[in-house]
Structure 1
Amino acid sequence: MGSAMRMNLDEFLQLEEQAEATSDFWEGRIRARTPVYYRESLIAVNLLCELREKDQDVLGSNLLVEVTPGELVAYADGIALIDEPQFTDSRELVLTNPGVLFEVVSAESSEWDRGEKARHYRGCPTLRQFAFVNAETPEVEVWTRGEDGNWSAQSWQGLDTVCSLDSLNCRVPLAEIYDGVAFTGTQSG
């Protein structure tokens, strides 16, 4: 998945700016991103549009996020800002203070998103919540950092449910997140 060549973040960013395809920087290596298909893209856009309609400051998947300094700099499928954005440099290429991160999870991306990437998300000091939005079925799993620093998860299933993003003080209907998405089999809602 990743290249064997080790590099520092500056070297990665120089390569990334010239690359035709985007990659994540993980522990000194380049990690190719999982392809994003129509369904995942539609779900991400629906979610971000719904949050934008609720006056949230959101960003798409084209901005790198410094999750763990020197260890993981990656693209998320969506970003919500809670504070004024801060960056590693004046070019505003790498965001350093995400408030909420969103990952649209498919069979191809699940192991990375829910595994190593989620482990790093839990270590990001500015992150208050992160969410896994299932691409195969209407389900959203939100992880929230408690005041004690521990993380807890809550999930919502079915098109008739509404997920809570407490750190953004808003609720998002799953029917809006999955608007226009065709599912195989029977889905609730």
Structure 2
Amino acid sequence: MAAKQNDYISETEYLEGEKLAQVRHEYVDGKVYAMAGTSRRHNRIALNIVVALRQAPKDKHCEILSSDVKVRANKRKTYYYPDVVVGCDPEDTNPYYLEKPCLIVEVTSKSTEWKDRHEKAVVYQSLESLQAYMLVSQEKPHVTLYYREDDDGSWWVTAFEEADQVIPLKCPEMSLTLADIYEGIDFSQPAE
């Protein structure tokens, strides 16, 4: 992603501009960054995750959204477009972004890996509602799960690399496997 302009832009200007934009942009403390397109593999993986999450129990009335809905991190003055986001808070009602997501998923690529793993991880973990942040590689079967402990709110991290490994989620309350996430993905071909 490259900076769109060097001048400061307000959150209001950014949000209004995004309603009309043909290219999506992320917002970081007054700076706007155009987003690059994604590969077919990237899209298939994100769609697999959405389909798997739709199998979660419906008792919490969670909303599963993909790539065109932003997450707002007010403390960090940022808006990002995650690949998949889950929100279960009925008071989180803005039609263009979530402020209280419980799960965020980013499908990483060579060009986004550093930002997803470092910058976004710090910003997302500042969200009090967030229970888990999942990074999904499109290069090989590998998922990194950052998750919040209930007792003290501290963050932990674990990695999954085997197809039958179970990834437990608190919100929505369910489990995923790498087989669910990577269904139909051919790793013998390059991702990008």
Same fold (TM over 0.5): yes
2:54 to 52, 62, 79: 52
CA distance in 2, matches of 1:168, 1:95: 16
Distance 1:46 1:32, change over 3 A: same
Greater CA deviation, 160-169 or 27-36? Answer: 160-169
CA distance in 2, matches of 1:10, 1:125: 23
The offset of 1:85, in angstroms, is: 5.2
- Tell me the amino acid that sits aligned with residue 42 of structure 1: R
- Tell me the amino acid that sits aligned with residue 45 of structure 1: L
How much identity, in percent, do the aligned residues show?
Answer: 26
CA distance in 2, matches of 1:17, 1:183: 36
- Tell me the amino acid that sits aligned with residue 109 of structure 2: S
Secondary structure at 2:7 match in 1: coil
CA distance in 2, matches of 1:70, 1:134: 26
CA distance in 2, matches of 1:134, 1:119: 19
CA distance in 1, matches of 2:119, 2:93: 23
Residue of structure 1 equivalent to 2:125: 122
1:178 aligns with 2:182: yes
Show CA shifts across 1:121-170 (max 9, x none): 11111111110011111111111112322210011102232211134321
CA distance in 2, matches of 1:136, 1:59: 23
CA distance in 1, matches of 2:74, 2:134: 18
Distance 1:12 1:70, change over 3 A: farther
In structure 1, stretches of 5+ residues that fail to align are none
The offset of 1:82, in angstroms, is: 2.9
Residue of structure 2 equivalent to 1:156: 160
- Tell me the amino acid that sits aligned with residue 125 of structure 1: E
In structure 2, stretches of 5+ residues that fail to align are none
2:67 to 61, 70, 92: 61
Does the CA-based 8 Å contact 2:136-2:143 persist in structure 1? Answer: yes
Does the CA-based 8 Å contact 1:79-1:101 persist in structure 2? Answer: yes
CA distance in 2, matches of 1:85, 1:139: 34
- Tell me the amino acid that sits aligned with residue 175 of structure 1: A
**Equivalent pairs, count:** 182
- Tell me the amino acid that sits aligned with residue 177 of structure 1: I
Residue of structure 2 equivalent to 1:35: 37
Residue of structure 2 equivalent to 1:165: 169
Residue of structure 2 equivalent to 1:93: 96
CA distance in 1, matches of 2:76, 2:163: 39
Distance 1:7 1:70, change over 3 A: farther
Residue of structure 2 equivalent to 1:15: 17
Greater CA deviation, 113-122 or 164-173? Answer: 164-173
The offset of 1:44, in angstroms, is: 0.4
Does the CA-based 8 Å contact 1:46-1:176 persist in structure 2? Answer: yes
